[in-house]
Amino acid sequence: MVEAVLGFVGAHTFAPAEFTIGQDRTCRLHPELARRLVGELGQIGGISPILAELLRRVGHEPPAALPHRSKAWLTQRGLMR
- Give the H or E element holding residue 19: strand 19-21
Distance CA 4, CA 10 (A): 10
Q: Quickly state the pLDDT bin for 67 (edges 50, 70, 90).
A: low
Is the pLDDT higher at 78 or at 25?
25
- Quick: pLDDT tens for 11-60: 888 888 888 888 888 888 888 888 787 777 765 456 777 777 888 888 87
Whether the per-residue pLDDT at 78 is higher than 80: the answer is no
Runs of H (alpha helix) within the chain: 2-11, 31-41, 47-57, 71-76
Is the pLDDT higher at 49 or at 81?
49
Q: pTM, whole model, 2 decimals?
A: 0.41
Cβ atoms of residues 56 and 69 within 8 Å: no
> DSSP assignment, residue 29?
E
